[in-house]
């Protein structure tokens, strides 16, 4: 498998195994199959596992812990996350340390290579957010120094952000030192943010601009939502309300599915090839939950990047 530059953390495989699928976020899966999927991913050359306490909750980390069973391969990178959605800023540092300790126990490891803030950073005022998020002042004053301290002490190898939300705010914090070591950004063929967009209609997502801000700051991009929470697949693998963002996006992606079918490919295959073709992406996180879904993604990586005219055909669908 192709490897790419991953900043402070060295090299990373073009594909990363995410925790959503193995943690039952994208439909249910038996623990044994999830464990087998992790092991198959490692055998295929994937060098980065990206989990979080909220996937399951805790299930994805438990699956990885069972799959590794204390035997961590050389070169394997493990990312987990901490959620800081609301609360007194003076509690943030304790929350980070408590969450990290619990994650290491579930993962059965004493080393987390990358700790990501799972909460979006919002402006102090006027964000138009519909749920509580991490405001930029406590991020700068409390969270960022706490993460820097953990890295300097060796408790984590690096830290980063979920770079989704108000473009100007995300770009501003990325431009400031100390910068995060990596960020997760939405990157998919139809630029769908889905239920990760938690702002009202006074603002719109601009994922390409967020990725560009990361690249300008020298921060590696971890691509998420390659299949837009299942909307860029042939069929949603879970029941959702008709008004759910995934259901709306799935309906809007009919043209994408038609394009994939005309090429003799599944929508998921084409969607992963698209995300892997983006020059601003270090690695693409997979939301697969079993070995069959993993195999399709591995085949997409083996097929190589899309040609310029193929990318143009996908981009034309956005109109």
Q: Which domains does the chain have, with CATH numbers?
A: 3-316 (3.20.20.100)
Please name the residue that has the structure tokens 């991913």: 41
Q: What pLDDT, on the 0 to 100 scale, is given for residue 238?
A: 87
Which tens digit of pLDDT belongs to each residue from 12-61?
Answer: 999 999 999 999 998 899 999 999 999 999 999 999 999 999 999 999 99
The answer to whether 259 and 317 have CB atoms below 8 angstroms apart is: yes
Please give the sequence-ordered ranges of beta strands (E in DSSP) within the chain, or none if there are none: 3-5, 11-13, 15-18, 48-50, 77-82, 112-117, 121-122, 134-135, 156-162, 182-186, 221-224, 283-286
Give the C-alpha distances (Å, rounded to integers) separating 198 from 86, 203, 204, 223, 309: 14, 10, 10, 19, 34
116 Ramachandran zone, left/alpha/beta (phi>0; psi -120 to 50): beta
Question: For residue 202, what pLDDT band results from cuts at 50, 70 and 90?
Answer: confident
pTM, two decimal places: 0.96
């Amino acid at each position: 498998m192709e490897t790419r530059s991953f900043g402070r953390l060295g090299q990373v495989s073009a594909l990363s195994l995410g925790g959503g699928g193995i943690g039952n976020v994208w439909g249910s899966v038996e623990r044994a199959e999830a464990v087998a999927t992790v092991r198959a991913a490692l055998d295929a050359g994937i060098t980065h596992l990206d989990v979080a306490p909220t996937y399951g909750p805790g299930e994805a980390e438990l699956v990885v812990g069972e799959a590794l069973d204390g035997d961590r391969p050389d070169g394997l990178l493990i990312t987990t996350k901490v959620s800081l959605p609301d609360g007194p800023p003076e509690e943030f540092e304790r929350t980070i340390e408590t969450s990290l300790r619990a994650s290491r126990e579930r993962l059965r490891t004493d080393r987390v290579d990358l700790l990501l803030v799972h909460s979006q950073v919002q402006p102090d005022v006027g964000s138009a957010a519909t749920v509580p998020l991490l405001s930029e002042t406590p991020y700068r004053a409390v969270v960022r120094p706490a993460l820097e301290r953990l890295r300097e002490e060796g408790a984590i190898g690096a830290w980063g952000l979920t770079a989704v939300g108000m473009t100007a705010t995300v770009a501003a914090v990325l431009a400031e030192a100390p910068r995060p070591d990596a960020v997760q950004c939405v990157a998919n063929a139809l630029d769908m943010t889905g239920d990760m967009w938690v702002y009202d209609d006074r603002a719109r997502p601009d994922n390409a601009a967020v990725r560009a801000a990361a690249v300008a700051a020298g921060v590696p991009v971890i691509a998420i939502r390659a299949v837009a929470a299942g909307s860029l697949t042939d069929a949603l693998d879970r029941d959702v309300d008709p008004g759910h963002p995934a259901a709306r996006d799935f309906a809007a992606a009919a043209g994408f599915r038609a394009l994939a079918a005309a090429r003799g490919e599944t929508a998921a295959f084409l969607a992963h090839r698209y995300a892997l073709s983006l020059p601003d992406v270090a690695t693409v996180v997979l939301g697969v939950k079993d070995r069959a879904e993993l195999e399709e993604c591995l085949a997409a990586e083996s097929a190589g990047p899309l040609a310029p005219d193929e990318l143009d055909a996908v981009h034309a669908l956005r109109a």
